[in-house]
Structure 1
Amino acid sequence: MNNSDGPVWPSIAAMTESAAERFADRTAIVDGGERVTYERLYAEARGFGAALVAAGVEPGDRVAIWAFNCREWIVALLGLYQAGATLVPVNTRFKGREAADILRRARVRVLVTVTEFLGNDYVAMLRDTGEPLPDLHTVVIARGGPSGSAVPWGDFLARATGDDLAEVDRRRAALGPDDPSDVLFTSGTTGTPKGVLMTHRRTMGVGADWVSMTGLSAGDRYVMVNPFFHMFGFKGGILACVAAGATMLPQPTLDVDRVLGQVAAERVTVLPGPPALYHAILEHPGRGRYDLSSLRVAVTGAADIPVELIRRVRDELPFSAIITGYGLTEAGTASSTSPDDDPETTATTVGRPRPGFEIRVVDASGAAAAQGEVGEIVLRGPTTMVGYLDDPGATSAVLSEDGWLRTGDLGSLDERGCLRIAGRSKDMFIVGGFNAYPAEIEAMLLEHPGVLQAAVIGVPDERLGQVGMAFIVPREPGLAEADVLAWCRDRMANYKVPRSVRLIDELPLTESGKVRKNALEARAAAERSG
């Protein structure tokens, strides 16, 4: 499947039907003791879609899923498309007020959620906010015990009638590539999350290109650590597997022992994830007890992938294809390395544009930056968003009329056209007139033998305007802040050297594995004010 040619199906609903025909007896999902074939998955999705019809959901209405990775998440996702509805995923880290804000702004009609996850009852959390949600008329409990007026999963499915199933079939036939498919709200680590509106063509394009990028096939078994509410887990996970007929093994949380056990027991071949996943596997003291020889494909991506991490994955784990890529909610996967790239390219770049994509690096005036010079990454391609939900001002600020998207990310292009990520424009800080890029400094810090993880932020300085502060997780006890600073002075230009170091037990991470820089900034601000 070639992303530049576009998906071969008119909609995600049609793609699901096709998967049931092509891969009928193949295992689609392994979740706990349950094994679900593609034929059964389609039947369950169709039944869920019919239950939505019975609940009064109309084509284009929005259905939210606020739950951990599980079989029901996949069924609800594929089922809502059978009813012609639009997906709104909700971050499992959100508190009640944050989730209520998303549900209200997206005018969600039905919510699929759980009542028992990491000590949280999401239904109760919503109820306790007291926030009015005038559009929300049905809450379905996918997993967990009863809560208020929410409907248990089985009871909800039982509402569907033969007429509702017939209506589902009519809606699936009527659904087209330019109909809305999903509204993913950006992570919101800073500012108010924005709803990224996509269509079936664009969203299927991300999944189809992921198949092409990785060589995913019906024989693959895919452990799904990336949360389904995130583009990586939803489009590069569920939809890629449905397109290829691969087996999905959803993981509720990042439990390294569970992941390693499943790799060995299920002969897992595909294990994508954030850098934190591979770091945890590499550092796991019992890694040698597990047979990981079936692993074939590793895929990771972030603005701050440590170079040393990629080198260790290549040297210490059995993957034959290690791919790094660059993507964002507003555009899908825009660039990637290829399995036959040399180790240095895979370790230090995020590769070349994916089929159909154009990538430029521009300076502050909007002109093309010189080769190797850092500037803002702008791009356009077949999976770029329609726009931000109900926010034409924010849309026009980043998306031009001819389809060029300002990403807010900083990078440079080398002589081969490979993209190197320097970080987020909001993360860059200026030290005495010199631009300092946290991702670059973090990569250098990770070369220190005593540094396990590192994150760098800019903090105010009376003389220089801003200077770097490094938060470091030591590899073992005994690492001294003064020694790290001395090591940096020997290896970095003066303006890159952090002026202070804080040794911490762990870095604060988002659910999708990114460092929460705003949490570190808040800690630094508290120090200054204290």
Structure 2
Amino acid sequence: MNATAELIAARPWLAHYPPGRPLEMSEPPYPTLADLWRGARQKFGGRVVAESFGARLTYEQMGVAADKVAAWLQSKGFKKGERAAIMAPNVMAYPAVMLGVLLAGGVVVNVNPLYTSRELEFQLVDSTPRFLFVLENFGPTVAAVRDRLPVEQVILMAAGDLIGLKGHLVNFVSRRVKKLVPEAPMAGAISFAQVLAEAPRLPAPAPLSGDDLAVLQYTGGTTGTAKGAMLLHRNLVANVQQGADWFGDELPTDTPTVMVTALPLYHIFALTACFWFQILKGGACLLIANPRDIAGFVKTLRKSRFHIFAGVNTLYNALADHPDIKKVDFSAMRLCIAGGMAMQAAVARKWRDLTGKPVLEGYGLSETSPVLCCNRPDIESFTGTVGYPVPSTEISIRDAEGRPVAQGETGEICARGPQVMAGYWDRPLATQAVTTADGFFRTGDGGVLLADGQIKIVDRLKDLIIVSGFNVYPNEVEDVLVEHPDVREAAVVGRPSAASGEEVVAFVVPRDDGLTEESLRAFCRERLTGYKTPRAFIFREDLPKSNVGKVLRRQLKEML
């Protein structure tokens, strides 16, 4: 048996790769994210790298701003390996700050700007950044705990930073019209504009390698106490290269691609699969600062020409339901990618009917930089799977004792590859708990390896509902519920039951007031076996969601 045959025997999914895809990841052109950025700036200097509020910045212009951030940090004694936190949505200053921190040799700590003061304090006390760059809108969150934060300096960014004259208008509207910015500035804070003005001319090159820490990506917001996944430069560079290997020939080669970047850059999906993927390809990110404003989002899309769309199920659903979405020109769009949560078949059908393009579902976690698997880019319709492991990625489905299960059986998805984190920040026991003896990362997700090598996600193992000894996976019940024409969204959780141990409860967002519990129960009974049919239906105006739109089942369980 030759080497290729041996590799395919060990990883059966490789036999089903699209033509031309490498079985192993290509050698990345650069060892670190800083090198990747410098190479892209040199190669694509005149191209647009980002668009925000209708203003565009080229690679060279972004590079000048990033250099100033790096030089300013170094002028304050910022050393290699020290940390700087960024707490902002997708505004133009975000990538400039991130690049500056990396060029200075530092570690980026991504912070959700929607955090409460308590959540912010926990993350910053845990990660101990010297500097915090925060959008001025969220200053009060910081101010409430400022005296308890291990932060040397707070820098206030504005939505209009780095976008020229238009930035003054954006800031005026944000501050004076919409009144999104507090009147009283935080004591001791300085502005991002001051950082740029004070910066020395050029930063000193930082001696980085692929084994150096690049990003602390906090995870666990939907499952409990947050932990910082330590993502090395080589982890992130590898995942970007894996994406390039997987999607390379599906994108235009004669023009720079534009990716709709509505998912926040502080989330690992957007950070890697949107921003850094585009940097490697010389493309641009269309930055959406507030994707929850669906009307504003649609208005932006109507003015734009884009090639790639990335989102989560709830975002696709909200856009497809908006009355003006049919006015958007999707003719240039080549790829639609979904991740972050399970994509529902009903939503995928609506999107394909609207745009003519199928949704490619991927799978990954913060701990894996994030992408582990993705649908083939040549599919014609939604598959209901997350496709195949990307090059150089091993997936093993295992039981509770860590033993591989037979093909077709459900178990825990375990992964090994160059994109898997180095461990959890300052938590060796937590790292040990998610690492198998042979070096696989335990994801906590249930899945199945199908006969053709595709991976199908069943559900989070901790969300499994056991009714009289039978397993009920919330995703399956939710998929049925959203097929009902009068259901906009649904989420399913379990609650204790004296009769059956647990019972299924459905939280439902109706499209109108005519939906009844009786009609829903009848609908489910036609499509689900008895123990899977919800015992109770709770109607709500909305569902609690994470920063990227993932439904927070944990909060729903707490409500019960």
Q: TM-score range by the shorter chain?
A: over 0.9
Q: CA deviation at 1:6?
A: 4.2
Partner of 1:170: 205
Q: Is 1:507 paired with 2:543?
A: yes
Unaligned runs of 5+ in 2: 1-20, 159-180
The partner residue of 1:220 within 257, 281, 290 is 257
**Residue correspondence of structure 1 range 304-315 to structure 2 within 5 A:** 304-315=342-353
Amino acid at match of 1:293: S
Cross-structure match for 2:161:
none
Instruction: Indicate conservation of the 8 Å contact 1:338/1:351, yes or no.
Output: yes
Q: TM-score, normalised by structure 1?
A: 0.92
Aligned to 1:229, the other structure's residue is in SS state coil
Q: Match of 1:246, as an amino acid?
A: G
1:233 correspondence with 2:254: no
SS at match of 2:69: helix
Q: Does structure 2 conserve the Cα–Cα contact (< 8 Å) formed by 1:47 and 1:157?
A: yes
Other structure's SS at 1:341 match: coil
C-alpha separation in 1, matches of 2:226 and 2:273: 21
Deviation at 1:75, TM superposition (A): 0.1
In structure 1, distance between residues paired with 2:297 and 2:242: 25
Answering whether residue 102 of structure 2 is matched by residue 81 of structure 1, we say yes
8 A contact 1:311–1:347 mirrored in 2: no
- TM-superposed deviation, 1:70: 0.8
TM-aligned CA deviation for residue 303 of structure 1: 4.2
Instruction: Give the superposition deviation at 1:401.
Output: 5.1
Instruction: Please tell me whether residue 256 in structure 1 is matched to residue 294 in structure 2.
Output: yes
Separation in 1, partners of 2:528, 2:405: 24
On the 8 A contact 2:25/2:241 being kept in 1, the answer is: no
8 Å CA contact retained: 2:261, 2:309: yes
The aligned runs of 1:181-192 (5 Å cut-off) are 181-192=214-225
Q: CA deviation at 1:131?
A: 5.0
- 8 Å contact from structure 2 (residues 508, 539) kept in 1: yes
Return the alpha-carbon distance in structure 2 between the equivalents of residues 71 and 212 of structure 1.
28
Describe the SS at the equivalent of 2:198.
Answer: coil
After superposition, residues 233-312 of structure 1 pair within 5 angstroms as 233-254=270-291, 255-312=293-350
**Aligned with 1:207 (options 215, 229, 240):** 240
Rounded to whole Å, the distance in 2 between the matches of 1:328 and 1:187 is 10
Q: Distance in 1 between matches of 2:222 and 2:544?
A: 11
Residue of structure 2 aligned with 1:487, choices 518, 523, 532: 523
Q: Write the deviation string for residues 137-183 of structure 1: whole angstroms up to 9, x where unpaired.
A: 11111116742111111111222224xx2xx3421xx2111111010
Q: Number of aligned pairs?
A: 509
The aligned residue for residue 376 of structure 1 is 412
CA distance in 1 between partners of 2:349 and 2:304 (Å): 26
Shift of 1:271: 1.4
Separation of aligned partners in 2, 1:35 and 1:130: 34
Match status 1:155 vs 2:202: no
Amino acid at match of 2:256: G
Is 1:92 the counterpart of 2:127 in the alignment?
no
Give 3-state SS (helix, strand or coil) of 1:139's partner.
Answer: strand
Distance 1:141 1:237, change over 3 A: same
> CA offset at residue 113 of structure 1?
0.4
The 10-residue stretch of structure 1 (254-263 or 280-289) with the greater mean CA deviation from structure 2: 254-263
User: Per the alignment, do residues 130 and 382 of structure 1 end up closer, same or farther by CA in structure 2, a change over 3 Å counting?
Assistant: closer
Equivalent position of 1:461 in the other structure: 497
Q: Which stretch shows the higher mean deviation, 398-407 or 44-53?
A: 398-407
1:9: Cα distance to partner? 0.6
The alpha carbon displacement at 1:417 in A equals 1.2
Asked whether 1:470 is paired with 2:506, we answer: yes
SS in 1 for 2:229: strand
Write the distance in 2 (CA, Å) between the matches of 1:388 and 1:471.
34
Change (3 A) 1:427 1:127: same
SS of the residue 1:271 aligns to: strand
Q: Over the residues paired in the alignment, what is the CA RMSD in angstroms? A: 1.8
Q: How far 1:360 moved relative to its partner? A: 1.6
Deviations 1:218-243 (A, max 9, x none): 62111211111110111112111111
CA drift at 1:493: 1.4
Q: Distance between the aligned counterparts of 2:403 and 2:241, measured in 1?
A: 33
What percentage of residue pairs aligned between the two structures are identical? 33
Matching residue of 2:57 = 36
Pair 130,178 (structure 1): closer, same or farther in 2 beyond 3 Å: closer
8 Å CA contact retained: 1:303, 1:439 = no
C-alpha contact 1:16 1:242 (8 A) present in aligned 2: yes
Matched to 2:156, the amino acid is: I
Secondary structure of the residue that 1:51 maps to in structure 2? helix
The CA distance in 2 between the partners of 1:498 and 1:370, in whole Å, is 31
CA distance in 2, matches of 1:503, 1:323: 31
Among 223, 228, 242, the residue aligned to 1:195: 228
2:552 to 478, 492, 516: 516
1:59 maps to 2:80: yes
- Aligned equivalents of 1:192 and 1:259: distance in 2? 32
Q: For residues 270 and 109 of structure 1, what CA distance do their matches in structure 2 show? A: 36
Q: In structure 2, what is the equivalent of residue 527 of structure 1?
A: none
